[in-house]
């Protein structure tokens, strides 16, 4: 297997590949940590801040994605004009500000405002790290690096609910935000000291509204980019529906009690393991082939789950549910890194704006998909199965059309 080579010179590159992957993975995992560590505390937060309805506390998760969609649109052009380091470091500062607002909030509205500020800030590292990776790696090498990064990124949800539950056992729920502060300061220092700039001044784009409109039009009308982006968005929407309703599924429907984090971690491991396996396979088989195989596997698994749901009034035995969701989420893990890399591949020096639009659009698509599916998850998981059936089929069609466009160019 050929080694992965960075475009930085040995003098510029201070980090080994494992350290680079670890730093980029922990940067991007701030998103997952900020969401999943909150899951065990939602009910307590609602009670403490006098939320009149439980559904309002769900906004703690959903508004985070809204803030990210806005932040990514800002930080894409910013990272292309000011450089990747400034985008990451300024984003981390805004994330810290939002975290302090959440930590000090005395009502739910202020906490929700803080969550939007958090999400806007974390978009800086989210967008700039993807562009930073694209600056140094291309093609299958980029997909392999992304797979290893996504492995750590997906493994974070395995421990995030457990960490959140542990904080609740020994401290107040507000100290989940204290933990966010400590982690962010540590990552910011690590990045500042070790990661060089990957976009030199001569390659930076001078910001202008006309150029922004022209570049945005190019990306938004690029059929290949949009095909992979929309496919990624709707697949993530179906997966996000599971994440946002996971507490309901395991604690209300299946009555697992305090074992909820363990079941959540088990399925998160499936996604993380898939990302690791993808890093081993993608250089040999290619991103497109693996993506299509994963979508077929996801579709078949969701059809079987749907049949079981029909025969059990939406509540198949827990062991059957886990035995199906594990391989289904393995397929999701294969798709995460590959679809993003396929969408980014044609964008070159527009990587910052491209990462922004791809991330923002896929987030905006995923939220309504997740909300629509999630509203039907009350006494069973039929809606989860139906969501994956529909979204995997539609994604396969989109990827097939986009790949045909790619080969015809």
Calculate the average pLDDT of the chain: 83
Q: Which of the 8 DSSP states describes residue 208? A: -
Residue 220 CB: number of other CB atoms within 10 A? 12
Mean of pLDDT values over 31-50: 84
Between the ranges 70-79, 247-256, 267-276, 377-386, where is the mean pLDDT highest? 377-386
Q: The tokens of 238 are what?
A: 């179906």
Mean of pLDDT values over 262-278: 83
Q: For position 97, what pLDDT does the model report?
A: 96
Please state, in angstroms and rounded to a whole number, the distance separating the CA atoms of residues 12 and 198. 9
Q: Under 8 Å CB-to-CB from 354, ≥6 apart: which residues?
A: 76, 131, 219, 225, 343, 344, 347
Please state, in angstroms and rounded to a whole number, the distance separating the CA atoms of residues 137 and 129. 12
Polymer length in residues for the chain: 409
For residue 406, pLDDT beyond 80:
no
pLDDT digits (tens, 9 = 90+) for 108-130: 889 999 999 999 999 899 888 87
pLDDT digits (tens, 9 = 90+) for 312-361: 999 999 999 999 999 999 999 888 778 888 887 777 666 666 777 787 78
Strands (E), 191-304: none
Top pLDDT among 385 and 198 is at 385
Between the ranges 74-78, 167-171, 295-299, where is the mean pLDDT highest? 295-299
Domains and CATH numbers, the chain: 17-195+207-408 (1.20.1250.20)
Please state, in angstroms and rounded to a whole number, the distance separating the CA atoms of residues 334 and 292. 10
Angle in degrees, CA 389, 393, 397, rounded to 5 = 170
> pLDDT over 90 for what percent of the chain?
31
Q: Under 8 Å CB-to-CB from 330, ≥6 apart: which residues?
A: 270, 271, 273, 274, 277, 297
Q: How far is CA 201 from CA 64, 198, 368, in A?
A: 33, 10, 39
Closest CA to 332 of 402, 399, 245, 237: 237
| 380 Ramachandran zone, left/alpha/beta (phi>0; psi -120 to 50) | beta
Query: Torsions phi, psi of 255, nearest 5?
Result: 55, 50
Mean of pLDDT values over 12-37: 82
CB 224 within 8 A of CB 405: yes
Mean of pLDDT values over 35-39: 86
Q: Mutual orientation of helices 17-36 and 175-194 as an angle, nearest 10°?
A: 160
Closest CA to 117 of 72, 67, 181: 67
The model's confidence at residue 93, banded by pLDDT at 50, 70 and 90, is: very high
Please state, in angstroms and rounded to a whole number, the distance separating the CA atoms of residues 395 and 129. 26
Question: Residue 168: in which H helix or E strand, if any?
Answer: helix 139-170
- 10 Å CB burial of residue 189 (0-12, 13-18, 19+) is exposed
3-state secondary structure of 276: helix
């Amino acid at each position: 297997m050929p080694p992965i080579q960075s475009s930085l010179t040995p003098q510029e590159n201070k980090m080994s590949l494992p350290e680079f992957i670890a730093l980029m993975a922990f940067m991007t995992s701030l998103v997952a940590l900020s969401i999943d560590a909150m899951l065990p505390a939602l009910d307590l937060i609602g009670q403490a801040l006098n939320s009149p309805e439980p559904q309002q506390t769900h906004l703690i998760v959903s508004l985070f994605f809204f803030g990210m969609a806005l932040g990514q649109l800002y930080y894409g052009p910013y990272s292309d004009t000011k450089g990747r380091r400034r985008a990451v470091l300024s984003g981390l500062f805004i994330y810290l500000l939002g975290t302090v607002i959440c930590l000090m909030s005395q009502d739910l509205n202020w906490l929700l405002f803080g969550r939007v500020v958090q999400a806007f800030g974390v978009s800086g590292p989210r967008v700039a790290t993807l562009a930073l990776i694209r600056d140094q790696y291309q093609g299958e090498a980029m997909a392999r690096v992304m797979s290893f990064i996504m492995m750590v990124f997906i493994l974070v949800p395995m421990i995030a609910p457990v960490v959140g539950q542990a904080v609740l056992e020994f401290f107040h729920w507000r100290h989940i935000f204290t933990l966010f502060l400590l982690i962010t300061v540590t990552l910011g220092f690590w990045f500042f000291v070790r990661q060089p700039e990957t976009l030199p001044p001569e390659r930076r784009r001078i910001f202008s509204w006309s150029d922004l409109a022209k570049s945005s039009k190019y990306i938004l009308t690029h059929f290949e980019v949009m095909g992979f982006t929309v496919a990624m968005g709707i697949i993530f929407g179906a997966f996000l529906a599971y994440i946002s309703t996971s507490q309901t599924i395991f604690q209300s429907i299946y009555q697992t009690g305090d074992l909820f984090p363990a079941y959540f971690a088990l399925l998160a491991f499936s996604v993380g393991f898939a990302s690791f396996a993808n890093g081993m396979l993608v250089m040999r088989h290619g991103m497109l082939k693996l993506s299509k195989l994963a979508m077929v596997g996801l579709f078949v698994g969701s059809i079987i789950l749907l049949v079981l749901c029909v025969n059990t009034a939406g509540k198949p035995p827990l062991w059957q549910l886990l035995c199906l969701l594990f391989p289904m989420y393995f397929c999701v893990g294969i798709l995460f890194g590959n679809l993003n890399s396929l969408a980014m591949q044609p964008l070159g020096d527009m990587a910052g704006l491209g990462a922004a639009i791809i991330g923002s659009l896929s987030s905006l698509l995923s939220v309504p998909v997740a909300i629509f599916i999630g509203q039907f998850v009350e006494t069973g998981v039929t809606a989860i199965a139906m969501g994956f059936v529909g979204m995997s089929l539609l994604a396969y069609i989109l990827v097939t059309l986009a790949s045909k466009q790619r080969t015809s160019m």
